[in-house]
Structure formats: C-alpha cells, structure tokens
Amino acid sequence: MSPDTLQPVPVTLEEILSATTELPVLPQVAVKIFEEMRSPNITAARMAEFIKKDPVLATAVLRVANSALYGARGRINDLAFAIARVGLSQIRNLLLALVLRSQMSDPQVYGCEGAPLMEHGLATAFGAGLVADVAAVDSGQAFMCGLLHDFGKLALIKALREREGVTTPCLPDDLAKVVDQLHAEAGEMLCRKWELPEAVALVARYHHEPDGAPEDAATIVATVSFADALSHRLGLGRPQDAEMNLLEHPAGRMLGIGEAKVKEIEEHLPGLFGMARSALFV
C-alpha cells in the first residue's frame, strides 16, 4: 500500500463495513452447536452423537475432559462421559472457542490481531466465569459473553484491511484507533446478525461503559467488563496494564467486588487460562 493509494480513514461504522466483501460469519459448526443446545431434549449422549461426526471436535472434547482443567480424574475415552464431566453448557462454550479460533485467526484476513484477540476472549471468558460467582449470574452465559465481547474488532479489522489494502501484519496506528473507537458498536451489530442471545449483544456494546447498559443487562455487562479489565491487568492475550486499579473500575463498584475477591481471582485466572489454552489451542 503506497501513500498515493491511501484513502481517507473512514469515520463511521457504516462506511467501514460497507467496504468489506463479507462480514465474518458464524461458522456452520458453531451454528449447529447452538441449535443442539436450544433443544429441550439435549443430553450428553445426544451431544456426543453430534460431536462424534467431527473427529477434530471429538478429539478436542476428550482432550479437554482429560486435561488438568477438569482434574483428570481417571482417563475417559467415551464422549458422553467426557461431556458429562465437563458439563453441557461448558462444552458448548469450549467448542465455540475452538471453532471460532480455528476459523477467525487467519493472518491473511485478520493480520497479527486475530489470534491474540481469541486468546484475550478466552481469558475474559474464564475471568467472567469466576466473577459470575460474585455477581450471581449464570456462569455459562458469562463465559459466552466474555468469549465474544471483542468480536466487533474482528469485523473492523477485516473490513479495514480490505478497504485500505493493508499488507503489513498489523494495522497502522491510525486504523487501530478506529478499531478501538468503533468495536463495541460493531460487536453488537455482529451479534445481532448472528442471532446470538440478547445478553451477548449488549455485553459487546456496553463492556467499556457498563454503567450505560440497560438495567436488565447491567449485571452481566458489569461481570464481563470487570473480567475484561482483569485480563488486561494480567496481560492475558493482550499487553499487560499492571497499573490498572481494579478497585476503582466502574464494573467493580457496580458488583461490589472487594480487594480480597479481586486478589483471589487474580491468583486463579492465569493458571485457569493457561490450562484452557493448552487444552484447546494446541
């Protein structure tokens, strides 16, 4: 991309996204996972029948169930037993992480940002699961919202790389700033395009301004917002911001999280994230 071919950096979300040939789409396997989980008759055995059709997913489920993440209480080789050990909701979330990471980390499409964003999403997901205990929200929902909270960045990165003809591994600073400024709005739009649960869309939109979220979504938004801040403070998938004061974070105040609980989560999250990354992203 030469200076002569540079176009002005777009300033509206609509202008940016209109430049891309196609927005990121939810992989078909992920769509099927959601469809299966919506069934009122879902069981570990039924989910096992679905998963065994994909050897990569089946191998991943067994690897996760036998990992240190779930205590490795005796080797399991049966998919239904593996799913029962991990739990149906968590299996859905972990498979979603695996599928999205495999299809949305392509450096030709997402440059140097794709893989780190997925790792940050995974760290935030596990952090949200830990914070959920304090916030009294469903940990499975918190995990999924944490996993997808920054997906607006992927849509913007893809569109900007196409529009500006970026060939370098990472976006130039001016384009990276556009991504930071607009990713929350883009994330909400992408979640609605994918027909994901309302909570996921609202978390994507308000995770940087939790006190602006609709009242009925305020707690789940604050949960993920605080987990996002934790991940940044600890440098999990993103550059570390060790100076961040979590006790002054708006989401922390909304949830009433005290210093002792912050310290406890900070001690547990890096190990949990490390085990999950080893089990999933091999």
- Mark whether 121 and 214 lie in a shared domain: yes
The conformation of residue 236, written as its DSSP 8-state character, comes to: S
| Domain C-terminal end among 71, 86, 103 | 103
Same domain? For 58 and 36 the reply is yes
Task: Answer whether 99's CB lies under 8 Å from 27's CB.
Answer: yes
Find where tokens 């085990």 sit.
275
The domain of 271 spans: 106-282
Do 197 and 143 touch, CB atoms closer than 8 A? no
Return the percentage of the chain with pLDDT > 70, whole number: 91
Residues 116 and 221 in one domain: yes
Residue 15 lies in a domain: no
Same domain, 92 and 130: no
Q: What are phi and psi of 5, to 5 degrees?
A: -100, 0
Q: Do 263 and 253 touch, CB atoms closer than 8 A?
A: no
Contact residues for 15 (Cβ-Cβ < 8 A; gap 6+): none
Is 118 inside any structural domain? yes
Residues 165 and 70 in one domain: no
Q: Which of 3, 12, 5 is nearest to 185 (CA)?
A: 12
Do 130 and 228 belong together in one domain?
A: yes
Domain at 195, CATH number: 1.10.3210.10
Residue-level pLDDT at 282: 67
Query: How high is the pLDDT of residue 168?
Result: 92
Same domain, 42 and 59: yes
pTM score of the predicted model: 0.85
* Pair 114, 96 in one domain: no
Question: Which residue, 46, 76, 103, sits at the end of a domain?
Answer: 103
Say if residues 84 and 62 touch (Cβ distance below 8 Å).
no
Same domain, 111 and 188: yes
Cβ neighbours of residue 10 under 8 Å, at least 6 residues apart? 16, 19, 163, 178
- What pLDDT does residue 185 have? 94
Q: Which residues of 134-163 are buried (b: 16+ CB within 10 A; e: fewer)?
A: bbebbbbbbbbbbbbbbbbbbbbbbbbbeb
For residue 180, which of 208, 148, 218, 200 has the smallest C-alpha distance? 208
Q: Kindly state the tokens that stand for 268.
A: 């547990």
Q: Are 151 and 236 contained in the same domain? A: yes
Q: What is the pLDDT of residues 1-40, one digit of tens each?
A: 444 444 545 557 777 777 665 666 666 777 777 777 777 7
35 and 112 in a single domain? The answer is no
Residue 6 resides in a domain:
no
In a domain, 226, yes or no: yes
The answer as to whether 19 is a domain residue is no
Rama region for 144: left / alpha / beta (φ>0; ψ in -120 to 50; rest): alpha
14 located within any domain: no
Same domain, 88 and 219: no
Select from 68, 85, 103 the last residue of a domain: 103
Q: Please, what's the largest Cα pairwise distance for the chain?
A: 63
The list of the chain residues with pLDDT below 50 reads 1-6, 8
Closest C-alpha among 102, 160, 116 to residue 282:
102
**Within a domain: residue 122?**
yes
Residue 244, in any domain of the structure: yes
Answer yes or no: are the C-beta atoms of 73 and 66 closer than 8 Å. Answer: no
Per the CB < 8 A criterion, the answer to whether 144 and 90 are in contact is: no
Total domain count, the chain: 2
